[in-house]
Structure 1
Amino acid sequence: MTFRRTRCPHCKAKLEAGQRIHPDCIEPWAEAEAAKKEREEAKRARAAAKVERAETKRRKEALKTRNDVLAEAKVAIQAFRRLEELSKGRGCISCKRSREEVEAGPWRPGGYWDGGHFKSKGAHPELALEPLNIWLQCKSCNAGSGKYARKGYTVAASFEANLAEIEGQELVDWLNGPHPAKHYDMDQLTALRNEYRAKTNELKKERA
């Protein structure tokens, strides 16, 4: 048993006997069908591209060394701490210039701000991934320029004095150590990197 179409596939109005589509609807229906097919093909292409990107990312991730992931974890934690401090309205930990003061100056490659380490990563690798060792610094202070440092202080001394004033001497004493060596395996480093990337993305959404 066959069923005859009683409604036009384009305008949905009732068809006459023997009609499958209204004559005036043939062209717009064909155009609509072509557009629908194009959208479906574009959707399939996007899905395939997404799968390909995921596979490319997986292959690249599999080729990374521990040092690669360690470097990425350091960058992720620095980026989060820099954004976190900016979101609190903080200025430079070393010279105490405000965001408005720093950003009123000439633009520098990479922006106006860095995530500065109280204890350097090279001399103190055990604190390289410690968020509390990273504070907001203007590019000038992080580069070691004493132009804006407290009178009679080096940049490092200003960093320590201001950190003690703002966050407390207890934190400064703890950061000054000593600290045991840290040994992160690949999984731990990957988890840290992903955690702080996610935190940064969440903070960006909150600030948007």
Structure 2
Amino acid sequence: MYYSTESVLSNYRSSEGFGAARVLACAEGVAVIQTKPPKLKVCKVCECNFLAPPGLLRAKVCGPVCAGKIGRAQRIKAEKARLVREKRETREKLSILKPRGYWLARAKKAIQQFRRLEELAKGRGCMSCGRSQEEVTGTDSWKPGGLWDGGHFLSKGARPELALEPLNIWLQCKSCNGGSGKYARKGYTVNQSFEANLIAQEGAELVEWLKGPHEAKHYETDEIKSIEATYTAKTKELKARQAHA
């Protein structure tokens, strides 16, 4: 096809009227161009093939109907993002109003959960009565609320400075952690059995260190939040490893 040089340049620069035209030669005021066959596009909505009109070569939809659908989808997506953002901002504002004790309880729970799962993963039994996981499952499976706890060797009330100490938390069955003496051995109380088994398994040095004395801990709220986040992440990682084992 032959067009004048002026016509070719004006159309080629100002519009997309020539589509994918390519100038091959230009001599004596005559331009020779070669046009490529039009390339079909795939509609993002109905997935049909369509030919984009001149001036809309970047169109992603085949027509007004699909354009309306994709517009509605984008508005819905934007609205959901706005609601999520507002919910997060509200949660952050409310968290500032919550007392320190609230975050301390959450941190204790996170550490206990991690220690319980960690000890179960190692195949250990109850640190107080010494029963194995198989024995507890066989006799206590009827009890509600699970079979195992992360129990404190030295109670949180007596030793608040050790409330967030992981080495003060060990695996206990529900019966022993509840204070029952039913499974105590050789006349020991649950706490005495706890200490005896802890010495046998971990050594007297750890028990002596736990008994202290220790300096009082004064955690700031941000420190407590950081501790909770750390052990929540450790629990998540441990569960992921167990799932892929």
Normalised by the length of structure 2, the TM-score is 0.70
Tell me how far 1:75 sits from its aligned partner: 1.3
Partner residue, 2:173: 138
CA distance in structure 1 between the aligned counterparts of 2:143 and 2:81, rounded to whole angstroms: 39
Partner residue, 1:159: 194
Larger deviation: 50-59 or 151-160? 50-59
Aligned residues: 200
CA RMSD of aligned residues (A): 2.8
Larger deviation: 165-174 or 182-191? 182-191
**1:82 matches 2:116:** yes
Partner residue, 2:213: 178
**1:48 matches 2:76:** no
Deviations 1:118-150, CA, capped at 9 Å, x for gaps: 000001111111110000111110001122222
Tell me how far 1:7 sits from its aligned partner: 5.2
Amino acid at match of 1:132: L
Tell me how far 1:103 sits from its aligned partner: 2.4
Tell me how far 1:39 sits from its aligned partner: 4.5
Relative to its length, the structure with more strand (as a share) is 2
What 5-or-longer segments of structure 2 have no aligned partner?
1-13, 20-37, 57-61
Deviations 1:175-199, CA, capped at 9 Å, x for gaps: 1222221111222222212211221
Secondary structure in 1 matching 2:84: helix
Describe the shift of the 1:58–1:2 C-alpha distance in structure 2 as closer, same or farther (beyond 3 A). same
Deviations 1:153-188, CA, capped at 9 Å, x for gaps: 211111001111111111111112222211112222
Normalised by the length of structure 1, the TM-score is 0.82
Query: Which structure has the greater CA radius of gyration?
Result: 2
Describe the shift of the 1:53–1:99 C-alpha distance in structure 2 as closer, same or farther (beyond 3 A). farther
Deviations 1:31-50, CA, capped at 9 Å, x for gaps: 86666455434433442233
CA distance in structure 2 between the aligned counterparts of 1:108 and 1:43, rounded to whole angstroms: 46
Identity %: 55
Secondary structure in 1 matching 2:171: strand
CA distance in structure 2 between the aligned counterparts of 1:35 and 1:109, rounded to whole angstroms: 51
Describe the shift of the 1:124–1:13 C-alpha distance in structure 2 as closer, same or farther (beyond 3 A). closer
Describe the shift of the 1:109–1:13 C-alpha distance in structure 2 as closer, same or farther (beyond 3 A). same
Relative to its length, the structure with more helix (as a share) is 1
What 5-or-longer segments of structure 1 have no aligned partner?
21-25
Tell me: higher relative CO, structure 1 or 2? Use CA pairs within 8 A at least 6 residues apart. Answer: 1
